[in-house]
Amino acid sequence: MGFPSVYPTGVTVYNPAKAAPGYTLLHAPDVGVVLLDLNGREVQVWKDLQGFPPKLLPGGQLLASSGNRDPKHAFQDQIDLVQVDWDGHIVWRFSQLEEVSDPGSETRWVARQHHDFQRAGNPVGYYAPGQTPQTDGGNTLLLVHEEVHNPAISDHVLLDDRIVEVGWDGRLLWSWRASDHIDELGFSDAARTALFRNPNLRQLADRQVGDWLHINSLSALGPNRHYDAGDARFHPDNLIWDAREANIIAIVDKQSGAIVWRLGPDYDGNDAEKKLGWIIGQHHAHLIPRGLPGEGNLLVFDNGGWAGYGAPHPASPDGLQHVRRDYSRVLEIDPVTLDVVWQYTPAEAGFVIPLDAQRFYSPFVSSAQRLSNGNTLITEGSNGRIFEVTADHELVWEYLSPYRGKTYPLHLLYRAYRAPYDWVPQLPTPVETAVERLVPASFHVPGAANERRREVTVQGVQAGVPDSAFCVAVSRDAGRSELR
């Protein structure tokens, strides 16, 4: 289906009575990390910092990166992870994971961080009552890359995902490597064959690497009702991650390193999986933290798009990108029963499936955050849209990013977060005003509704037709459809 060539940007909807108060943090390509109020005003910009993703800390501090490695020689590697204060001064930095010698650059230490990290004190990186990330100490979990050769997976070099924990002094305290757990991931024989032949190869300037899992989120479980009820799989220190290319969400036991809970890679086994349906190319899977509505449930942006490994078929002749769906879902799932507790899909957005289901669709990036008032902040990242909906799916805030990157000429947003006003004591609480939602059917570019008309009859229906054109439109004054 076609889409308009012109879009508004900025805040297009804001209902102060129903939206959760606070600032919204995002990364603006080629600009830096931007903090917005609910009317879309930039209240702070940390210039030239990268966000993969950026996270606000109490006191107006920020966790982000000072830059990424040249994409010719590395895939999505950040040079470091830095904590800066309100004025941009570096408070803490980590880069001492691996020493690399990229062509054209001096040998240097880099963090190889990608997609996610968590600071001690908070399991998920966004506001939860009583769970405040530390700003002057504490360990940090990072999702990082490592190139390995594991012939049990493939003869190709793998761009493996690794989780590391580092202290405030930068010392490596704990490490976990995904490729060591291939036999725990539930791949079928057909999937293992496809993966062996082509582990999602990425072409760099001087080599190929297999981005076989592409883990894109990492968090701790934190205190939760499942562990309180005696389910050891959900120990608060255990870690949850999701793999975009494999359609897997998994929990790692922090003590043993074993995978103790898993959803995917296939969703056609038991009745609960079949009812849930295939989760494809997902992002930002995490447990809603204690103190927020829905605590203990799994929240995930189920992108759709294309992902997975399996037996070849006409749409996947080599067994890669094995399953596909052309719309997205946000799912809140009970991780024990796999029941869907809440969801936001094209149907809840008011669209018709499958005719215009693609109107809620981000085949890559994206996220979902549970807010303190029970609303959900959703980043529909591939088109740069952030919006907030109530539990009843009412749209109460919407922002369309005006930022367009050079590397990827898209209004791309990886992940956005809402943070409370009191996390930024440097600013007075803003005075924000409602933004009424426009009704597309009755909105005209100035001048379009004032054209001189002549009256004609079309098959017995009285209609106004411009002298210069015959087109479908809606009269804003009349508030009803008519031919104009």
pLDDT of residue 189: 98
Full residue range of the structural domain in which residue 95 is found = 10-435
Domain CATH code at residue 67: 2.120.10.30
1 inside domain? no
Q: For the stretch 397-430, what's the b/e string if a residue is b when 16 or more beta carbons lie within 10 angstroms of its beta carbon?
A: bbbbbebeeeeeebbbbbbbbbbeeebbeeeeee
The more confident residue out of 73 and 467 is 73
The answer to whether 114 and 76 have CB atoms below 8 angstroms apart is yes
- Percent of the chain whose predicted confidence (pLDDT) is above 90: 84
Residues 452 and 304 in one domain: no
- CA atoms of 298 and 416, how far apart (whole Å): 18
The answer to whether 160 and 175 have CB atoms below 8 angstroms apart is no
407 inside domain? yes
Cα angle value 42/46/49 (rounded, 5°): 130
Neighbours of 246 (CB within 10 A): 26
CA distances from 90 to 85, 86, 417 (A): 7, 10, 21
pLDDT of residue 443: 80
Residues 425 and 460 in one domain: no
308 inside domain? yes
pLDDT of residue 278: 97
Residue owning tokens 């991931």 = 185
pLDDT in tens, 421-470: 999 999 999 999 999 988 878 888 777 555 544 454 445 444 443 433 33
pTM greater than 0.85 (yes/no) = yes
pLDDT in tens, 399-418: 999 998 877 777 899 999 99
pLDDT of residue 449: 52
pLDDT of residue 469: 36
Work out the pLDDT band at 2, boundaries 50, 70, 90. Answer: low
pLDDT of residue 152: 97
Mean pLDDT of the chain: 91
Work out the pLDDT band at 480, boundaries 50, 70, 90. Answer: very low
Residues 358 and 464 in one domain: no
- CA atoms of 116 and 210, how far apart (whole Å): 20
Residue owning tokens 């390509």 = 29
Residues 139 and 92 in one domain: yes
Residues 170 and 25 in one domain: yes
5 inside domain? no
Residues 354 and 476 in one domain: no
Residues 336 and 457 in one domain: no
Which structure tokens are listed for 270? 């038991």
Residues 68 and 92 in one domain: yes
The answer to whether 104 and 70 have CB atoms below 8 angstroms apart is yes
Three-state SS for 443? Answer: coil
132 inside domain? yes
What's the average model confidence in pLDDT over 62-73? 95
- CA atoms of 315 and 323, how far apart (whole Å): 9
Q: For the stretch 294-311, what's the b/e string if a residue is b when 16 or more beta carbons lie within 10 angstroms of its beta carbon?
A: bbbbbbbbbbbbbbbbbe
Task: Average the pLDDT over each of 56-60, 230-234, 360-364, 476-480 and give the range with the smallest value.
Answer: 476-480
Residues 385 and 480 in one domain: no
pLDDT of residue 448: 55
What are the backbone angles phi and psi of residue 36, rounded to the nearest 5°?
-115, 150
Residues 381 and 415 in one domain: yes
69 inside domain? yes
CA distances from 395 to 40, 298, 341 (A): 16, 22, 19
Cα angle value 174/176/177 (rounded, 5°): 150
pLDDT of residue 277: 97
4 inside domain? no
2 inside domain? no
What's the average model confidence in pLDDT over 19-31? 96
pLDDT of residue 463: 42
pLDDT in tens, 164-217: 999 999 999 999 999 999 999 999 999 999 999 999 999 999 999 999 999 999
Task: Give which of 317, 299, 321 is closest to 309, Cα–Cα.
Answer: 321
CA distances from 290 to 7, 251, 436 (A): 38, 18, 33
Enter the DSSP assignment of 21: P
Residues 99 and 120 in one domain: yes
Instruction: Give the total number of structural domains in the chain.
Output: 2
What are the backbone angles phi and psi of residue 195, rounded to the nearest 5°?
-65, -40
pLDDT in tens, 293-344: 999 999 999 999 999 999 999 999 999 999 999 999 999 999 999 999 999 9
User: Does residue 385 register a pLDDT over 90?
Assistant: yes
Residues 187 and 124 in one domain: yes
User: Does residue 481 register a pLDDT over 90?
Assistant: no
